[in-house]
Amino acid sequence: MTVRIMRRYFGHDFRVCEFYHDHHGDCCDCFPCINSSINLTKNHDFELTDPNHPGIPKVKSVPYLVMVRNYLEASVSGYHLFLRRNPDTRKSWKRYVEISLPHYQRFIQKWVLSNDSIEKLVIRYEDLTADPYRVLGEIASFFQPGEQLDTARLGQLIDSVESEDSDAKRTKLVKGRGVQATRKIEDFRHFTPRFFRNLEKELTDEFSALGYDRRYAA
């Protein structure tokens, strides 16, 4: 959604590398991209899933847009993609959490909380959906610092952008829904307050640093 809005706001001059998609012969297969015409390379630092891997290197000469989300919602969303290769069972859900929770913790520690000197803009998904005009304005200005922001045009793009609905079979675009959060954790098939309360306990440090409340605390 953010990428679609930025592409439409900046036009053909805004080029994006979908790092994890199938690469063509002219792709450098590097992060960050060595092609100076690329404005944004998407990367989830999946290498952090391996506890012995430091993940992708930080390059001080490159600015980073770091987008994060409350793990509770992120895990439910990611699980629907996990189901494309796994059965939908309680065991599968617990296995997905075993894989994704440590990755989330290492990602937050590395890209949000670490005391480094890289240039970065950290955006919470919840702020993006609650106040898309302000937050997407910050993102647009991050890509084009010092330039006057066309707030009216950006607002039109935000109001008309397609949103994504993903399930175990496919991801589809819903036209004209704009920027909004659409999924409720309590509607999740495997939701139990106790399990999600335990997740919040596991993420006490990360949630505190990111400003996330514990909704299921006893």
Q: Residue 182 — pLDDT band, cuts 50, 70, 90?
A: low
Indicate the pairing of strand 171-174 with strand 163-166: antiparallel
The partner residues of 67 in beta bridges, in order of sequence, read 123
What percentage of the chain exceeds 70 in pLDDT?
A: 89
pLDDT digits (tens, 9 = 90+) for 78-118: 999 999 999 999 999 999 999 999 999 999 999 999 988 89
- 20 exposure class (CB count in 10 Å sphere: 0-12, 13-18, 19+): exposed
* Spatial separation of the C-alpha atoms in residues 111 and 45, rounded to whole Å: 10
Domain ranges of the chain: 2-210
Amino acid 72 reads: L
Read off the DSSP letter of residue 195: H
* Spatial separation of the C-alpha atoms in residues 152 and 114, rounded to whole Å: 36
Amino acid 179 reads: V
Is residue 185 predicted with pLDDT exceeding 60?
A: yes
Structure-token pair, residue 79: 């699980």
Is residue 168 predicted with pLDDT exceeding 80?
A: no
We find that the CATH architecture of domain 2-210 is 3-Layer(aba) Sandwich (3.40)
